[in-house]
Amino acid sequence: MSLRSRRPQTHINHERWMVSFADFMTLLFALFVVLFAISAVDEKKLQEVSESMEQAFGVMHPHGPQILDGHPEVVRPIPPIVPPVQAPDTPAGTAQRELVGRLEKVLNQTQKLAAAVQLRRESRGVVIQLKDSGIFDSGSATLRPELLNELKQVVKELEQLNQPLRIEGHTDNVPVRGGGYTSNWELSAARATSVLQFFLNQSRLSPEQLSVAGYGEYRPIAPNTTAQGRARNRRVDIVILNPQALENEPVSPESGSSLNQQLNQKLQQRSF
């Protein structure tokens, strides 16, 4: 009868996780010690800790050489940090800001005018936006009489400006009902024409400097899916064209070059 040799039973260590847990707790304790140390406002100690960490991880220091791959002997000088140079302001941009400032003073004189008129700047020039809720009745192209006195102040400012203007009519996408207009195009053009006629009657603006456009619902500035968006789209824009936008305007061969020359001369003599 042969006797089998029994292998000694190995003891399974169920406490191995404690080694990793102890290392984790040690690192966590060290982290909180560092956080506590830098919580006190001590610029010198904070600088020392920052430099030590940067050297340990090979991070670029803004005031010294860069340590690559943790080897102090491999260094590379860092070029000085130069702040970005802002582009100088253009005369057109300065003129637009000055114009907007003067018009804002006029609009803020009365609460009624400030609620009905809004200013914005675009690449083509300064835009004076007339809200249809303040100057027109629904489906009508007749200016409301209660706002005419306030609009005269805007006309006086534009008369002193003596610059080319384009008056643009806009609507929302709701079909026209009544009022004698068959489409939003007709209504937008009629409203722009009413503003144009008011300008001619209340100022000495030259008809050669004025133009009218009716865009209907096809140039929205807000979504037509909400009542607020449709209200913003119903407007008449008075665009004060700058020289760049004026170059794209159709002009006659006889008067086109002279008009551009006169405008450039006025811009050189004074701002907008």
112 and 237 in a single domain? The answer is: yes
38 and 167 in a single domain? The answer is: no
Q: Which residue range is the domain that position 178 belongs to?
A: 91-269
3-state secondary structure 97-155: HHHHHHHHHHHCCCHHHHHHEEEEEECCEEEEEEEHHHHECCCCCCECHHHHHHHHHHH
φ and ψ at 82, to 5 degrees? Answer: -105, 125
164 and 250 in a single domain? The answer is: yes
97 and 184 in a single domain? The answer is: yes
65 and 116 in a single domain? The answer is: no
> Would residue 63 count as lying in a domain?
yes
205 and 111 in a single domain? The answer is: yes
Note the pLDDT of residue 109.
80
Measure CA 160 to chain center: 29
> Would residue 45 count as lying in a domain?
yes
147 and 26 in a single domain? The answer is: no
> Would residue 135 count as lying in a domain?
yes
Average pLDDT over residues 142-170: 88
108 and 230 in a single domain? The answer is: yes
> Would residue 161 count as lying in a domain?
yes
208 and 140 in a single domain? The answer is: yes
Number of folded domains that form the chain? 2
Choose the final residue of a domain: 41, 76, 111: 76
Residue 251 pLDDT level (bands cut at 50, 70, 90): low
For the stretch 42-90, pLDDT in tens is 666 667 767 766 665 554 444 444 444 444 444 444 444 444 434 445 6
Choose the final residue of a domain: 27, 48, 76: 76
120 and 172 in a single domain? The answer is: yes
pTM of the model: 0.59
> Would residue 81 count as lying in a domain?
no
